[in-house]
Structure 1
């Protein structure tokens, strides 16, 4: 099987949909020798911030000398980005070779009348096989959706479970109330383990604490009152947390101080479990962390940023971030969203901040909202909106409107930001 054939096989499995549950992935992994049982995990769930916490934790651990696996979704730049070891993408050769094994296992399952694994289950198995093959010391694992019935929850050897901010999202799959969603996400908690959380609402905290009591797990939440000496700007971003002063996180955004503090709590929990990390490695890793698509500057003139805000909580946080970092700048927005997201709420919060808005349809995604339909939703909150035929046109229009003294912010679905970044770079020559 070539890399192209492997990709075609995985793409073809998308016809099996996204099915929550562990029966099929458990069967698949059993036929592959259960590679996940030979690995140790930091397992991360939540609504917004999972990837940022994952990036901080894995970069710090890499700087401390560990071989660290990363499993993330969705990706921005290319397919292989979702499976990394020490920030290097899985090679095409490994994808092809391991996908062949998974293909054979899937065909055997079909022949026996069993369900075929979904695309996410195939990718999860592929990641576990590669992480075992490369002898990872620790794998930092991000859930795909939810927690309890997410394919990643097949793991049994979790060292630390971590929770990013939990809010309303994926309601059709996870539940209609915040408590229901939190309970599903709390399903990753394993007995007698350490649980770390960023700052949560009282309703979510109660659910997480109850789950920890049931599993005899210890619960530790970021203490907001211990976040002090906060400096938030493009030029100087730093904070103090507990007894650590002048901490300098590498990712911009108003929520990143809490995400960074959660990562520090995870590292301290790992230290207590016998995984040494020096303070020098911790600080170096924190500062060197990068996470594309999270209030990321991709061009300086005009200032051009991208952000993957795509739900209620993320919209609120992006609005807060804009007011902190660029309160006086003329703002031009490029927006592309999926049709099953609460985009009307997002537009009500963010659209009034822009001088002009250009909408796009995210490419190659069946869930994408047409640009004209999104423009109509925006028009209720800002009349200065137009739909672009494609991403390069949107970039050209937005940069033209920004001129020399404005800024462009592209946000919405992460699925189109890679194409947009490539379009910006191509235009810059």
Structure 2
């Protein structure tokens, strides 16, 4: 290991983070709270918007942080997982942390962990260490705001360590069944875990509906928090859409925005945009000024690759990291509504901890042919035969190609110019495919990723 205050080498950092991954992933705030205390509570040095929910968290966080940056606030963004490099997770004003700064922050956190080891303690997890590194970096960069995407659940997630006073707004995009062995096997139980990010005297912005909304209303009443609901308090109306994005109007609390543009496809992104706009406007209730121009520019400049991203036109190739059945249903709906094509050739690779039948069932009706593959993140890819068995139930002609890039090339060879090649099933699958068009050298790539939640 490097000397005190010096960044460890690439191999040091890699070995350390991999060793944490082997320890597994565990929810709970005790470990990370002790670690942050040992680092002099870096999360107290900035204000926070925390974003939870089942899907759309990353897109919503990207929109909020882009708007705040355009408004002149120095803004950090922390998201997970990453497409290509772990440095994507930690961003300030649109710029990723450098690899040298990442190494330095991980070393700083590791030194704190080593000091803690002198007393009896439960070792922090991979996600907790990286979260602490992000907080330390944000403190060093003297940011005004951090927009934090929850890793899993909310109540016991490492991102949920910011104080009530420093977290004026919480966002919960939507709720569906996910990670049921950890979060619970009903919408109400999962909503309870997500509601843990609602702060005392804070503001909640959500697009949740029905039973989940009732859980959030109860939590807000208990914590004296206000709640704004997309579709009710925040209304967006689509004006136009094409392969470059969507134009829409928005209205909330009597305030109107006309012809806003986001470079993201699918009506579900309008729901996310409603949450982002609501979050920024909610900050205004806490004295944070954001002018209309910043809102317009920030939304238009939002970048969030791997979500209905078009990377090639003839044939059209779309990448989308839909990772569960609900996300797959949203993708299906968006393609049905907005995409014109003759046939759809599906490339699909799913992680082993997912509902394979549910995901395949949601997207298979669109597919004329399928190429089944397996991403190369160690220990996380589902067996291709399991996906094939599910695809067979839906009568979709399919082949199996183990390597993702080869699978995409196979799909393109099967497609005509007016067909659509859709690559989906996991962000890991999408990330590997994306390298065919956007090759990036990185010291720490997808081999550093959270262990599946047990």
CA distance in 1 between counterparts of 2:68 and 2:84 reads: 23
State how 1:394-405 maps to structure 2 within 5 Å.
Answer: 394-405=407-418
- Name whichever of 274-283 and 20-29 sits farther off: 274-283
Match 1:249 to one of 240, 262, 280:
262
**Corresponding residue for residue 145 of structure 1:** 152
**Corresponding residue for residue 169 of structure 1:** 178
Match 1:115 to one of 122, 134, 146:
122
**Corresponding residue for residue 288 of structure 1:** 301
**Corresponding residue for residue 216 of structure 2:** 208
User: Structure 2 length normalisation: TM-score?
Assistant: 0.91
**Corresponding residue for residue 417 of structure 1:** 430
**1:23, CA displacement in angstroms?**
0.5
**Corresponding residue for residue 21 of structure 2:** 14
Equivalent residues of 2:47, 2:146 under 8 A apart: yes
Pair 1:322-2:323 in alignment: no
Equivalent residues of 1:391, 1:423 under 8 A apart: no
> Residues 366-422 of structure 1, C-alpha deviation per residue, up to 9 Å, x if partnerless?
121022332222111133111102012101111011121211110111122211100
Q: 1:111 to 1:329 in 2, by over 3 A?
A: farther
Equivalent residues of 1:3, 1:95 under 8 A apart: no
**1:425, CA displacement in angstroms?**
4.9
Pair 1:131-2:143 in alignment: no
**1:282, CA displacement in angstroms?**
0.6
Match 2:106 to one of 90, 99, 109:
99
**1:123, CA displacement in angstroms?**
0.4
**Corresponding residue for residue 73 of structure 2:** 66
CA distance in 2 between counterparts of 1:63 and 1:90 reads: 19
Runs of 4+ in 1 over 6 A off after TM superposition: none
Match 1:391 to one of 404, 412, 428:
404
Pair 1:223-2:231 in alignment: yes
5+ residue gaps in structure 1? none
Q: Secondary structure at the match of 1:113?
A: coil
**Corresponding residue for residue 191 of structure 1:** 200
Equivalent residues of 1:25, 1:121 under 8 A apart: yes
**1:14, CA displacement in angstroms?**
0.8
CA distance in 1 between counterparts of 2:19 and 2:245 reads: 46
Pair 1:369-2:382 in alignment: yes
Equivalent residues of 1:192, 1:215 under 8 A apart: yes
Equivalent residues of 1:179, 1:204 under 8 A apart: yes
- Name whichever of 105-114 and 279-288 sits farther off: 105-114
Q: Secondary structure at the match of 2:142?
A: coil
CA distance in 1 between counterparts of 2:107 and 2:249 reads: 49
CA distance in 2 between counterparts of 1:93 and 1:76 reads: 19
Indicate the RMSD between aligned Cα atoms, in angstroms.
1.5
**Corresponding residue for residue 395 of structure 2:** 382
**1:111, CA displacement in angstroms?**
3.3
> Residues 211-255 of structure 1, C-alpha deviation per residue, up to 9 Å, x if partnerless?
000100001111258333542332562111122121212211120
> Residues 262-315 of structure 1, C-alpha deviation per residue, up to 9 Å, x if partnerless?
111111111221221111111011111121111111112211111111212111
Q: How many residues align?
A: 425
Q: 1:424 to 1:395 in 2, by over 3 A?
A: farther
CA distance in 2 between counterparts of 1:13 and 1:233 reads: 44
**Corresponding residue for residue 83 of structure 2:** 76
> Residues 100-155 of structure 1, C-alpha deviation per residue, up to 9 Å, x if partnerless?
22212222333322111100000010000000000011000000000000111111
**1:11, CA displacement in angstroms?**
1.9
User: Structure 1 length normalisation: TM-score?
Assistant: 0.96
**Larger helix share, 1 or 2:** 1
**Corresponding residue for residue 348 of structure 2:** 335
CA distance in 1 between counterparts of 2:177 and 2:141 reads: 37
Equivalent residues of 1:67, 1:136 under 8 A apart: yes
**1:341, CA displacement in angstroms?**
0.9
